[in-house]
A and B are shown apart, each in its own frame.
Chain A
Amino acid sequence: MVLDDPKSAPATREDAPWQHDKKKEDLKHIGKPIRKVDARSKVAGLTRFADDLRLPRMLHMKLLRSTMAHAEIVSIDTSKAAALPGVKGILTGKDMPTPFGILPVSQDEHALCPDKVRFVGDPVVAIAATEEETAWDACRLVDVQYRELQTVGSVHEAAGTNDPRLHDYGVRGNIHRLENLEFGDLADGFNRAEHIREDTFWFEGNTHLPMEQHATLAHFDRDGKLTVWSSTQTPHYLHRALARVLAPLPAHKIRVIAVQNGGGFGGKSDPFNHEICAAKMSMLTGRPVKIALTREEVFWCHRGRHPVLMRSKIGVTKTGRITALDFHSFLDGGAYGSYGTASTFYTGALQTVTYAVENYHFRGARFFTNKAPCGPKRGHGTPQPRFALEVQLDKIACDLGLDPAQMRLDNLAPRDSLTANFLRIGSMGLGACIEKVVEGSGWKERRGKREVTKDGRIRGLGLACSSYLSGAGLPIYWNGLPHSGVQLQLDRSGLVTAFCGSTDIGQGSDSILGWIIGEVLGIDPLGIKVVTADTDLTPVDLGSYSSRVTVMTGNAAMQAAERARDLLAKGVAKKLEVPASRLVFADERVFDAEDPQKGMSFQDAVICTEAQFGTIGTVGSYTPPKSAAKFRGGGVGPSPSYSYSAAVVEVEVDPETGIYRVPKVWMAHDIGRALNAAVAMGQIEGSIYMGLGEAMMEEMAYRDRSHKGKRVFVHKIPSLLEYKSPSACEMPECVTYVIEDPDKNGPFGAKEVGQGPLLPMMPAVANAIFDAVGVRVDENPVSFEKVFAALQAQKAGKEARFGPANDDTGVPVVDFGEPLQIKTPWQGGDGTAHNDPHRTKKAAK
């Protein structure tokens, strides 16, 4: 295959025109409600998910998991299990001693716990047998002896327990991370403030709950090559983890294929124990090995929303302009690092991109506790602080007698600007979003009216806004390589095949490739073959997380397609004897713009070009623009662009019980440009749904009981029935507005849509409850019981609020040390910290 000269175009095109200024009318496929490329097979029941795969001689694997929250493993006796007929292989921790983890700074997991278990559900033994039942029975025959250790159950407990430590790395005791960043001059900001508030908020953890339970099939074949099919959002990272743990098996002998995911939402973004065990087991037994997790095990995999305790002190002017924000977050990380370092930074990153914040101090601490590990869930680390900020702003508007919507409109962060923490805002459609939902909901007329419904419920409206990244500016592990690559192959038949490592988890990323390439080459997107998420065949894409795929894969696809078009244009120009610049690619044809009759079919264009230049293939790749934030920790938060959302939620509260329902939601989302109308709508509606679940009911609650010295600490409700997620009956009527404010960094101006619209739901619900019945719930979920408790307090003449103690006792005492001090752009800062000890040390060397 002859590749277009890769040297001729840089991988990063910071100033690249990703056709963001193209007029809507001039786009043929982009923005249209075309079917997704896989829609047919999905509705026909033909899509194969990981557990639908089977191979001859396949074994079934089960994991025996810890029944202890925190314990040392004294002994493991597998002899009885090994004797059970049908058992073919047994693995324990000593078989895979190399630790792994998604982030290079926290390689703290093992495929099977070698010496210590850290939460109920931590895997200890893997057994493969000819039948799944046999493997399960065999697990029951294993005798594991534990020596119990003190359980660490919460942020408060972790802050107060130096010994035992869950891990022997981290800051100290059970503190995993401490971050302390000061932008600008806080004291001055508070001095200039005309009103100051301090509030404490609590956001309970929750989980992704994809409908598909994770499954993996591994096959180590006779040629010494390992293939792993798995429900993963990040085949590239799984590939790396496998290579690390299975060394000396070289990475190039490992092939990871991400099978269609039955939902991910961030829950399938880490390399998991079961994936590595299946691979190792296949190497051990020489047979294909499948593991399909049960629903309970999916809860053990978790990596969901961190429980976060937050204390926020905010100073504003009379018009609500934020002069200073002092924000503390305390994250309950669970048993392992996972993405936690990034999550910690994210609880402090995006406060600044919606409303201008003049001075900002962020302190974040992450703790290890004996719970299933937390990680990235839709909105990764940002919904918790967003909840705090949006509820606090609502209180401020109330304090100042301002309309919360107008106050926000008056203080928007400006477009094309740098924030206090050096995030570069490009297009910014939040104002338009707010205006839309305010108008649609009748906000001005209906807010504060406390209308009573026929059945005695009181109506209220709540508003909240948010922003989210279109992909993280930096990869998970440090490297200077592109974040996404696309390779195109053009065949004589006219077929265009796109190879890309991106992974479709239901959001439609496979289709995005088709639409963009189809638009550039003027061919039917559904006719394009898309080969994705296969580490043997496709160029690396970092994975489906942080809403990165549309922008990054999209731009890479665009570059590859443009290069293909240029090459074809050259070929056709020669044949038709017209200048290449005059050629138009449209309707499956290539023709002269001045004489449309003069042209040829797309297929003929490929043929004549191949005849001239040989086999046709092009590549494209994408690296996000360099970040302006150069201080340590500045790697989390920068993104090619930010999406914006605003929501108004209507609630109807039963004042006698605190029970409420949400009949209607108005949601506006600035998507930059919708690449596909119907699919974008689906993402917004899905976000509303998931946000509503988080607001009303979802929580990772733990059972914490002690009896005769034994403490039981285990997930309270690891089932689909008891982990409450909204059904069709709870889904409100939704009025959705798609705001298109194209961003120059996105393909055709597109920004993210999969996560952002989830964020305003939780604070909007809390604010709506206040509008209806005058009580504040400073905790998420805003469950019925909490509304009731706040109503009781109101009745008793106490503060009409439910939430963590609103003073220094509400949060743990933690010494954050000295902050890194960074001058804001308007103070003349250059994005570095002027007091970074590491940096000074480096410079001295």
Chain B
Amino acid sequence: MTQPNKVLATFQVNGEPHEVAFLPHKTLLEVLREEMDLTGTKHGCELGECGTCTVQIDGTPVLSCLVLAVDAVGKDVQTVEGLAQGAELNPLQHCMADLGAAQCGYCTPGVLMAADALLRDNPKPTRDEIKEALAGNLCRCTGYIKIFEAVELAAARMRGEDAQPSKESIYGS
């Protein structure tokens, strides 16, 4: 079989154009990490089984390890690197940092991308809705609780409330 030719295409990632040449069998994960040096997007299985590679395409969270890069051309791709506004973290990032919701931080980019999409659709998610939205993101460090609490806190702050983390969540009962 003859090797297929590389594709030359321009991606819109985090609102910026990136022109890249790549082979058609390359996944978005590979192109983001290896051609654009956007290594914020992680990988833990490359088979759809962990969620660490979650990015948003046109606002929908998907697994970049199972999306062909060619199929993301012409769409709006968002990665964890695009969440902060300049040097300022977004509220969800702030809350995750404050509560220690990122321990090793390896699942964090994927969790952020999934949770960010949730908060856009649902400004006041219940604990069950948060669990449901994060049901595709494995974390081995945190037991998820600090992540749930960070999403709830960020949601409240994004609604304009002057919310603080509960005493129990920080100091225990």
Touching chains A and B, CB distance < 8 Å:
yes
Binding site for B on A (CB under 8 A): 33, 35-36, 38-40, 42-49, 51-52, 54, 208-213, 260-265, 294-295, 440, 505-508, 676-679, 681-682, 684-690, 719-721, 725, 727-729, 731, 734-738
B98 touches A35 (CB 8 A): yes
Which single member of B49, B137, B141, B170 contacts A506 (CB below 8 Å)?
A: B141
A-contact bits for B101-113, CB 8 A (1 contact / 0 none): 1111111110010
Alpha-carbon distance between A735 and B40 when the two chains are bound, in angstroms: 33
Would you list 27 pairs from A and B whose C-beta atoms are within 8 A, ordered by A residue? A33-B165, A38-B105, A39-B97, A39-B98, A43-B112, A49-B106, A210-B106, A262-B42, A262-B106, A295-B47, A677-B171, A678-B98, A681-B170, A682-B146, A685-B142, A685-B143, A686-B103, A720-B49, A720-B138, A725-B138, A725-B140, A728-B130, A729-B135, A731-B131, A731-B143, A737-B172, A737-B173
Which of B93, B99, B144 touches A689 (beta carbons < 8 Å)? B144
Q: Are A686 and B142 neighbours in the complex by a CB distance under 8 Å?
A: yes
Measured in the bound complex, the distance between the Cα atoms of B141 and A829 in whole Å is: 43
Measured CA separation A729–B131 after assembly (Å):
6
Least Cβ distance of A184 to chain B in Å? 38
With A and B bound together, what is the CA distance between A508 and B165 in angstroms? 20
Report B-chain residues with C-beta under 8 Å of the C-beta of A687. 143
Chain B residues with CB under 8 Å of A43's CB are: 89, 93-94, 96-97, 102, 105, 108, 112
Cβ of A434 to closest chain B Cβ, rounded Å: 15
CA A263 to CA B131, docked complex, whole Å: 22
Interface: B169 (CB within 8 A): yes
- Bound-state CA distance A387–B93 (Å) is 39
Beyond A39-B96, A678-B170: 6 further Cβ-contacts under 8 Å? A33-B165, A43-B108, A211-B141, A262-B42, A689-B143, A689-B144
Q: B39 near A738 (CB under 8 angstroms)?
A: no
Contacting A at CB under 8 A, from B117-139, are: 130-132, 134-135, 137-139
In the complex, which residues of chain B have a beta carbon less than 8 angstroms from the beta carbon of A208?
A: 140
Cα-based distance from A831 to B50 in the complex (angstroms): 50
Whether B103 and A508, one on each chain, are in contact in the complex, defined by CB atoms closer than 8 angstroms, is: yes
A508 to B148, CA, bound (A): 20
**Complex interface bits, B76-98 against A, C-beta within 8 A gives 1, otherwise 0:** 00011101100001000110111
Q: Is the pair B103, A507 in contact by a Cβ cutoff of 8 Å?
A: yes
Query: By the criterion CB–CB under 8 Å, are A45 and B109 in contact?
Result: yes
- Whole-angstrom distance between the alpha carbons of A46 and B172 in the complex? 30
Tell me whether A681 and B102 are in contact (CB under 8 A): no
B134 lies within 8 A of A681 (CB): no
Whether, in the assembled complex, B163 has its beta carbon less than 8 Å from a beta carbon of chain A, the answer is no
Q: Within 8 Å CB of B173, what residues of A?
A: 440, 735-737
Is B41 in the interface zone, CB < 8 Å from A? yes
What is the CB-to-nearest-CB distance from A715 to chain B, in angstroms, rounded to a whole number?
A: 15
In the bound complex, do residue B108 and residue A42 qualify as a contact, i.e. CB atoms below 8 Å apart? Answer: yes
* B44-A681 in contact (CB<8A): no
In the complex, A47→B101 CA distance in Å? 15
Complex-state Cα separation, A549 to B146, whole angstroms: 23
Contact among B46, B80, B83, B138 for A211, CB-based, below 8 A: B138
- Once the chains bind, are A42 and B102 in contact (CB under 8 Å)? yes
User: What residues on B are CB-neighbors of A39 within 8 Å?
Assistant: 96-98, 100, 102
Bound CA span A643–B42, Å = 34
Chain B residues with Cβ below 8 Å from A689 are: 140, 142-144
Question: 8 tightest CB-CB pairs across the interface, nearest first?
Answer: A45-B40, A506-B104, A262-B106, A689-B143, A45-B80, A42-B105, A39-B97, A52-B39
- Chain A residues near B140: list those with CB within 8 A: 208-211, 263, 265, 686, 689-690, 725
A161 shortest CB reach to chain B, Å: 35
- Asked if B45 is an interface residue, CB under 8 A from chain A, the answer is yes
A728 touches B131 (CB 8 A): yes
- Residue numbers in A under 8 Å from B94 (CB-CB): 43
Give the distance in Å from the alpha carbon of A294 to the alpha carbon of B65 in the complex. Answer: 13
Cβ contact of B104, chosen from A33, A260, A737, cutoff 8 A: A260
Q: Are A506 and B135 in contact (CB under 8 A)?
A: no
Interface residue B52 (Cβ < 8 Å from any Cβ of A): yes
A720 contacts which of B50, B97, B168 (Cβ < 8 Å)?
B50
Closest to A38 in B: B105
Q: How far is the CA of A274 from the CA of B94 in the complex (A)?
A: 37
Complex Cα spacing A737 to B167, Å? 12
Which single residue of chain B is at the shortest CB-CB distance from A680? Answer: B172
Name the A residues within 8 Å of B102 (CB-CB): 39, 42-43
Identity of the chain B residue whose Cβ is nearest the Cβ of A296 in the assembled complex = B45
A44 near B103 with CB under 8 A, answer no
Shortest CB-to-CB span from B81 to chain A, Å, is: 5
A679 contacts B44, C-beta separation under 8 Å? no
Residues of A within 8 A of B44 (CB): 211-213, 295, 720
The listed residue (B39, B100, B172) touching A736 by CB distance below 8 A is B172
> For residue B131, which residues in chain A have a CB less than 8 angstroms away from its CB?
728-729, 731
Contact in complex: A260, B50 (CB < 8 Å): no
- Does chain A have a CB within 8 A of B145? yes
Q: Complex Cα distance A260/B81, Å?
A: 18
- A739 to B132 Cα, complex, angstroms: 33
Q: A33-B170, A39-B97 are in contact. Are A44 and B89 (CB under 8 A)?
A: yes
Complex CA distance for A49 and B108, rounded to whole angstroms: 13
